[in-house]
Amino acid sequence: MNVSAYLLQRLKSLGVDHLFGIPGDFILPFFQIMNDSDVEHIASCNELNAGYAADGYARLRGLGAAAVTYGPGAFSIVNAVAGAYAESVPLVIISGGPTTRDYARQSVLHHTLPNKYNASVKIFSQITACAAVLDDPATATRDIDEALRLCLSQHKPVYLEIPTDVQVHACSAPPAFAPLPPLRDEEAIAGAVRDIAQRIRGGERTVIIPGHEVHRSGLQDKVLALLDKTGLPAASMFIGKADFLEEHPQCIGAYQGAGSLPQARAYIEQADTVLFLGVVLSDFNLGGFTAELSSQQIVSALDQQVQTAGGTYSDVPLPDLLDGLLDALPPGTADTRAPVHAFSHQLRVPYRAETDAALTNKRFYDRIAHFLRAGDIVAADAGCAVNCTQVQLADGVTFLAACYWASIGMGFAAAFGACLAARPGQRVIALEGDGSFQMTAQELSSMARYDCPAIVFVVNNKGYTAERLIHDGPFNDIAQWRYHKLAEVFGGSGLEVRTEGELEAALERADHYSGPGPLLIEVHIDPWDASEGFILMSEKLRS
C-alpha cells in the first residue's frame, strides 16, 4: 500500500470506477499504480476536456475524478474546475508535482514558475473547497480523507497536489470512511420550516421551483413527495432543469422570466410565495433579470441558507428543510387554475413530419421532445441548452448542462464522461451548437476509442448564434466544418440533415444505433433562426 493506491481505493469505494486524465512526468508514478488498480484510466484529448468529462461523470455518479501533471496540466483544467465549483459538482483533481526536495529548494524545473511553486494551490484555493499540497507523507492519507469529506459534504471540487516521491510512499490501508456531517442548526431549521409553512397556509398561491442542488443531493423523490402531499404546483428552470417532474400533473411548465410562455409566467409571478429549492437566482435563470418577482414573494433555499421576507436562517441543509415541510404542511389538492405543461415543445402535441420542408429551430426541438425516452442521458451545450429549457422531458430522462458557469464546449466533453457513467442500456445524447462543438470536438475520437455509441446532434447554424443575437459581427463567424464526416474519420458514423424528412431517416437510424463509436447527425438551421425565449434573453443581455 502506498499513497496513490490509498487514494485510488478510496475513490473506488465512493463509486468512482473511471478516472479521466492526461499523463505527464510528475504524475507518472500515480498513473502506473492506477494501471494496476481497480480504477480504469480514461484518456481524454486534453486536460480541460478531462475536467469536463469528470464533471459529467460526477453529475451521474455523485463523484468524479481527474489526474493531471503539475503546471501546464493543472492550469489547463482550471476552467472545468471553476465550472464545477459554480455548479456544486463534487470533483477530485489530482496533480502530480516535483519531489518534496524540489518544493523546498524551489528548483528551476520544467513546468514550474520561478520561485512560485505555490501558484497552482493559490489559484485552486479560489475554486475548490480544499486545495492542498500533500508534501508530508506522515499526514498524506489523513489529508486525502479530509479533502474527500469536504468534497462530498459541500458538493464542491477539491485539489490534491502530490509530489512524485509522496505518490509512492508506503502507508497503511484505508480504514472505514466516515463522511462529514453537514452543519445543522436545529433552531434555524425549525424556524425556517415554521416561516415557510405559515406563508403557504396563509397565502392563496405557492409555486415550488427546484434547482441544481436538488440533483446534487439526490432529493428528487422528496420534492415529488412534497408535491403529491400538498397539491402545490411546480415549475422547471434553465439552470438545474427539473427533468424529474416535467411530466408530473402539477408541473406548470418552464419558467425563465420573459423567456417563459405567457400563461406560466403570469401564474408564477402572481403567486404569494415562490419557493426556490436549491436554485441560483442568476441572470440566466431569471431570463436576463426579466422575472417580475419581489423580495416579498421569493423564498430561497440555497447553500444551506434560507432567505424569506421574514428573516435569514443559516445552517439549514436542504434535506432537513424538505423533511420539515413534509411534516408541517397539511394534505392539499392541485390548483385547477394552474397551467399544465406550458412548454414550447410538448410531449402531448403530436408531431408529423413534412417531408420536404426545410428544418427550423422550432420543428427540430418539437421532434427531439418526442425522440427522447426514459433512461436517456441528454447533455446540452450553450444555445442548445437554452432551447432545451422549453423542451418537455419524459419521465426518466436525465439532463446535463452547465448553464450557470456557461462555458461553451463543456456539454460535449461531459457527454463523453456520461458515456462511462451510464448504466447498461442507457443512451447518451449530446445536443451541440456548431460553435460549442468546435471547442471540444476532439472527444469524438475518445468516444470512438472507448466504443461509446453516443448520438451527437450538431446544430450547424454557421457560428455563435448566442453572441450574434447580442452583438453581431464577423467575429461570430466560425470555420465551416463538414461535421458529419468527422465521426467516420475517428471511427463512428455520420449523417447530414436539412429537411424534416431527412431528420426522420436519421432518427430511425439513431433509434437502432449501437455503434461502433458515436453517431453524429449534422443538422442545418438558418443562422438567425432562434426560439422566442432565446431572442428575449439576448435582447436583455444586449441592453
Model confidence pLDDT, tens digit, residues 61-95: 999 999 999 999 999 999 999 999 999 999 999 99
Q: Tens digit of pLDDT for each residue in 295-306?
A: 999 999 999 999
Query: In the predicted model, what is the mean pLDDT of residues 21-26?
Result: 96
Q: Tens digit of pLDDT for each residue in 128-148?
A: 999 999 999 999 999 999 999
Nearest CA to 206 out of 255, 256, 264, 267 is that of 267
Residues 94, 67: contact at Cβ < 8 Å?
yes
Checking if the pLDDT of 530 tops 90, the result is no
Looking only at the bridges linking them, the beta strands covering 64-69 and 18-21 are: parallel
What's the pLDDT at 540? Answer: 67
Residues 353, 496: contact at Cβ < 8 Å?
no
pTM: 0.95
Confidence of residue 112 (pLDDT cuts 50, 70, 90): very high
Confidence of residue 474 (pLDDT cuts 50, 70, 90): confident
What's the pLDDT at 528? Answer: 74
Cα atoms in the 13 Å half-sphere on the side-chain side of 29: 19
DSSP assignment string, 278-307: S----TTTTTTTT----TTTEEEEETTEEE
Q: Tens digit of pLDDT for each residue in 264-276?
A: 999 999 999 999 9
Checking if the pLDDT of 532 tops 80, the result is no
Using DSSP's 3-state secondary structure scheme, residue 156 falls into coil
Cα atoms in the 13 Å half-sphere on the side-chain side of 129: 21
C-alpha 541/C-alpha 161 separation (Å) is 39
* Angle at CA of residue 374, ends 427 and 387, nearest 5°: 80
C-alpha 78/C-alpha 506 separation (Å) is 37
Residues 352, 436: contact at Cβ < 8 Å?
no
Chain mean pLDDT for the chain: 95
- Domains with residue ranges and CATH for the chain: 3-167 (3.40.50.970), 186-328 (3.40.50.1220), 361-542 (3.40.50.970)
Confidence of residue 472 (pLDDT cuts 50, 70, 90): confident
What's the pLDDT at 463? Answer: 67
C-alpha 312/C-alpha 383 separation (Å) is 35
Q: Give the CA distances from residue 468 to residues 277, 394, 542, in Å, rounded to whole numbers and listed in that order.
A: 33, 32, 10
Exposed e or buried b per residue across 468-486, where buried means at least 16 C-beta atoms within 10 angstroms of its C-beta: bbbebeeebeeeeeebbeb
Q: How many CB atoms lie within 10 A of CB 10?
A: 18
Q: Tens digit of pLDDT for each residue in 433-448?
A: 999 999 999 999 999 9
